[in-house]
Amino acid sequence: MAGQRPLVGRHAELERLGEALKGARRGTGSFVLIAGEAGVGKTRLAEELAEHSRATVLWGRASHGAPVPYGPIVAALRAYLRANPDGLRGCGALKPHLALLLPELGKPAQAGDRATLFEGLRCAFEQAADGDAPLLVILDDLQWSDDATLELLPALAEPLAELPLLLVAAYRSDGLPRSHMLRRVRHELRRGGHLDEIALGPLEPSQTADLLRQIFESAPAPSLARAIHDRTQGVSFFIEELARALLLTNSLTKGRKGLELAKGGEVPVPDTVRDAVLIRTSELSPEGRGAAEAAAVAGEEFDLDLLAEVSNADGVAELLSSGIVVERDGGRAKFRHALTREALYADVPWLQRRALHCRLAAELEATGAKAMEVATHWLGARHEAEARDALLRAAQQSRAVHAYRDAARAGRQALELWPEGEDEARRIEALQSYANSTELGGELAEAARAWREICAIRQAEPGTGEAYAAAQSRLAAVHDMRGDREVAFAARAAAAEAYAAGGKHAEAAVERLAMANYLRFAARHSEAIALAQAAVKDAEQAERLDLRARALGLEGVAKAKRGEYEKGLKTVRTGLALALEHDLTPVAAELYQRLSVVLYDSADYRRAQETLDSALELCRTADEPATELACVTCMVYVLRECGEWAEALKLGRELIDSGTAVWVAEGIVGMIYAAQGKLSSARRMLSSSLATASQVGHYNMTVDTTTGLARVAALEGGAQETGERCRSLLAL
């Protein structure tokens, strides 16, 4: 910002950021985090970089207490659009997805997903960076950010390397909760080799003296500089506020060695930053003080017209002229520092604070503000019913832009405010939305807890058998994702019984098929056969040929696994013939894969490979990625058994690199490495595969990887481990 005092004590950090900006100017962008405790100078460092960068600068700040999905990102892009209304025209088909966040771009997309939205945001920054100067994007106060913004950052880190763009993100490192998404972001950036972080520490005593010399426009005495440094621990914001308080109260006098505290002065160095801020605002008129208090309640950044509505226009003007807040584009203003706002907010009398929150909530609601911002003020006003409604709207708005963790947070807050026994139907609807959001956001333990509660509610209600079954099915799906097949099996059993009792035989067949598959993986083949046969009956009652064919395929595999190869082969072929006769292409692809399993279990590897080729061709025709993946993993296994190790390794590594079926591919590749004598790599891959196979109860891979580890141990001369592995195999 023009007119600011020279930066004190941050020259090494500024030089490092300058080098990153030079890289962006050459077309090699990067992402830099600035971390440090509150008041240490993170924002000031970013401002200094922006002032001297000769770059196009876009700012975005997270809002304390009311995190809106993608809030800092939207603020930065909106600033760009104000200067370049047609600047995102080059995003083409992605513009409707961006319009979900930036309505000024036109009609939003009716359907989409998070990956498409992320690609749209990447494209937006690419367009913004397509100019003569490099683009500098500064995201501040990310400790308060919404999760959607934080989840986006690792996705942007890699594309930055090909853009003339430097992304700088600052956050408070002190008091950051262990569960904060920022910690996960740092881990992902480090894992991807993209973590570049500058940690700002406090100023040195000599630097404190330099800063005081600028503020006082005269040298402080060493004793005064030392006292202020000790009291503030070298935190620049505290130094500035304490120094201004001393100037305002005329507490300084010229001494032999520089400025000193006046003897007998009424105001000593204030003990806390709050004291210093309050001393500074004591010079305001009653109107100015009222505007300052209203601004503190409004938030770190606020709309000036809104502030005038709830306080006084003259007071707002005085507040701006005081320098406590600074005006920004679009009729908005912000506190010069978040700590100033926090100190003022804490000093607003409780009842007055509630009244201001109430007025702000009503004004914001009337103007169609974001629901999360409205909810924050209703919560501050202690109006729980209004807050709950706003939180439910906020959750819905977050889901609409695929910000599922933010939706879950808002939904959780709403549910915590729900009075017992009130509007139960709506509460169950909110609980289901919360369960969906936590599931999509990857919070699987919370999703399972929510679905269990829904199951308990539905079970206790008369006439809700189908809803109870659906809830049990969703609970099973969550436990599947957690790798807890035993609990998932129990949930699916409850769902199947409830569906069948309600005459929903197709749904019952689907649940029984999933249960039979669990049992097949666990080598409980007789039970799997019984469940598959029950699924056949359900499918027949539902007149669903596709489900009947799938059930026959699973029954045939289980029979073959039990040792009845001919019967199993015949049953699978019956299902396959049914699928082919009725042009059920996706089902036929699945049945070809089942047939290949039976063939390679009977050591007929060549025919198994031919069958898999047919399955893969059908999968690609029918766009069935799940079955295609199963076919590819089976193909790797078959190629290994046929001795075609080069091709097996090629396919296996492709699976591992793509992040799909990693543990299965690791097990198969690990066995080849063991046979080739690459024992260290073999042990690593086999151990990883065995850990997952044991967790999910996959019998075949558990046997395969345990065998491989026994072979590795024997080749290494580890007789004891070899014996233990062999005993494990015998037990299996």
Name residue 125's amino acid.
F
SS3 at position 492:
helix
Return d(Cα 725, Cα 730) in angstroms, integer.
Answer: 9
Determine what percent of the chain falls in helix, strand and coil, rounding each to the nearest 5: 70, 5, 25
What pairing do the DSSP bridges indicate for beta strands 135-140 and 56-61? parallel
For residues 712-729, average pLDDT = 86
323: Cα separation from own chain's centroid: 37
Least confident interval from 180-189, 314-323, 547-556, 586-595: 586-595
Q: Model-level pTM greater than 0.85?
A: no
What is the percent of the chain where pLDDT is above 90?
A: 46
Return d(Cα 311, Cα 393) in angstroms, integer.
Answer: 28
- Please, are residues 599 and 580 in contact by the beta-carbon 8 Å criterion? no
Per-residue pLDDT at 2 exceeds 70: no
Average pLDDT of the chain, as a whole number: 87
pLDDT at position 323 is 84
Per-residue pLDDT at 493 exceeds 50: yes
84: Cα separation from own chain's centroid: 30
Residues in the chain: 732
What is the percent of the chain where pLDDT is above 70?
A: 92
Contacts (Cβ under 8 Å, ≥6 apart) of 191: none
pLDDT at position 167 is 94
Return d(Cα 379, Cα 349) in angstroms, integer.
Answer: 16
List beta partners, residue 199: 35
Per-residue pLDDT at 497 exceeds 80: yes
Model pLDDT for residues 619-628, shown as the tens digit of each residue: 566 566 666 5
Model pLDDT for residues 357-377, shown as the tens digit of each residue: 999 999 999 999 999 999 999
Contacts (Cβ under 8 Å, ≥6 apart) of 729: 703, 706, 707, 710
